[in-house]
């Protein structure tokens, strides 16, 4: 990896960390950047998952005031997220590289359409004074849904933030900043447990992960403050446009190679 590649990865990591703080979808920036510097898709995906953990932690720290009010929500959703992330990572490693290469365009398109659908929904109002929401008395469906998000997080991850925001809204979340804080903690947990599996199996590029992580920390830290000043729907529409272009280019490359 030369200096130009390192600079590109750091910039992609910073953009991904900031976008994840504001709206979600940062993987659609950092994942193709990892492939652009020569990493195979499966290795790029595993490397990206590891690299974005510090960015999620930095972003969550930026939301620490909001998180102090919702520790019970984090405690409830953390176990299924951890189990799901572990299962998704194991599933990815069990997937032959050629199969993963073939389905990457579909995964990117799915994540992109998810962002678009989320953007078309009525925006959730942000109110710093909103009281903590209450989990349902029988939260098994919500916890099972979080486990499914964790599986997706460990396997690919792009779009998991939108999934979690939708899930948190369905159980009573109303303050977008507080939901973002919870989402960032859960994303860090899911990616972290998946990253342990990937690192133990030798599926990551350590140098690329380190460079991406440095950028993601800077972006995640700054993104939490930026989230209060920009329209997250506008950012998501930009990510949607990028995702559609990326899905099309990946599909075209796959067809030409096949």
Q: What is the pLDDT of residues 207-225, one digit of tens each?
A: 999 999 999 888 877 776 6
Between residues 135 and 107, the one the model is more confident about: 107
pLDDT score at 124: 52
pLDDT digits (tens, 9 = 90+) for 130-166: 555 666 667 888 899 999 999 999 998 877 877 887 7
Average pLDDT over every residue of 175-200: 88
Q: What mean pLDDT do residues 91-97 have?
A: 91
Torsion, Cα of 234, 151, 113, 25 (10° steps) = 20
Cα separations (Å) of 243 from 32, 89, 96?
A: 10, 23, 24
pLDDT of residue 192: 92
Rg of the chain over CA atoms, in angstroms? 17
Between 51 and 172, the more confident residue is: 51
In angstroms, rounded to a whole number, what is the distance separating the alpha carbons of residues 132 and 151? 27
Provide the b/e sequence for 29-66 (b: ≥16 CB within 10 Å).
Answer: bbbbbbbebebbbbbbbbbbbbbbbbbbbbbbebbeeb
50 Cβ neighbours under 8 A, 6+ residues apart? 191, 194, 195, 198, 199, 204, 209, 213
CA dist 20 and 93 (Å) reads 25
Q: Which of 21-25, 81-85, 167-171, 186-190 has the lowest mean pLDDT?
A: 21-25
Tokens matching residue 27? 């993987």
Question: What's the pLDDT at 60?
Answer: 78
Query: What pTM was estimated for this model as a whole?
Result: 0.80
User: At 109, is the pLDDT very low, low, confident or very high (cuts 50, 70, 90)?
Assistant: confident
119-153 as b/e: b if 16+ CB within 10 A: beeeebebeeebebbebeeeeeebbebbbbbbbbb
What is the domain partition of the chain in residue ranges? 3-257
Rounded to the nearest integer, the mean pLDDT of the chain is 82
pLDDT, tens only, 34-51 = 998 999 989 999 999 898
In this prediction, residues 165-185 reach a mean pLDDT of: 80
Longest CA–CA separation in the chain, Å: 55
Residue 66 has pLDDT above 90, yes or no: no
**117 vs 93: CA distance, rounded Å:** 30
What are 194's two structure tokens?
């998946």
pLDDT at 128: 46
Return the minimum-mean-pLDDT range out of 63-67, 140-144, 200-204.
63-67
Q: Specify whether the CB–CB gap between 177 and 69 falls below 8 A.
A: no
Question: What span, in angstroms and rounded, lies between the C-alpha atoms of 150 and 143?
Answer: 10
Mean per-residue pLDDT for 189-217?
92
């Amino acid at each position: 990896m030369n200096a130009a590649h390192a600079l590109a990865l750091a910039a992609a990591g910073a953009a991904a960390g900031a976008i994840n703080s504001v709206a979600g979808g940062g993987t659609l920036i950092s994942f193709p950047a990892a492939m652009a510097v020569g990493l195979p898709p499966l290795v790029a995906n595993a490397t990206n998952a590891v690299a974005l953990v510090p960015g999620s932690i930095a972003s969550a720290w930026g939301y620490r005031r909001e998180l102090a009010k919702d520790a019970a929500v984090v405690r409830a959703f953390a176990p299924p997220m951890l189990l799901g992330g572990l299962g998704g990572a194991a599933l990815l490693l069990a997937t032959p590289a050629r199969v993963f290469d073939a389905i990457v365009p579909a995964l990117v398109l799915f994540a992109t359409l998810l962002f678009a659908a989320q953007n078309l929904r009525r925006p959730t109002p942000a109110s710093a004074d909103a009281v903590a929401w209450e989990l349902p008395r029988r939260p098994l469906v919500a916890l099972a849904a979080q486990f499914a998000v964790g599986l997706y997080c460990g396997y690919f991850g792009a779009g998991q933030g939108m999934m979690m925001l939708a899930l948190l809204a369905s159980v009573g979340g109303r303050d977008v900043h507080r939901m973002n804080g919870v989402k960032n903690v859960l994303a860090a947990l899911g990616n972290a447990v998946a990253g342990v599996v990937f690192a133990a199996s030798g599926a990551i590029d350590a140098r690329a992960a380190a460079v991406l992580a440095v950028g993601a920390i800077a972006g995640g830290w700054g993104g939490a403050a930026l989230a209060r000043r920009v329209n997250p729907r506008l950012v998501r529409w930009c990510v949607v446009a990028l995702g559609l272009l990326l899905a099309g280019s990946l599909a075209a490359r796959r067809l030409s190679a096949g």
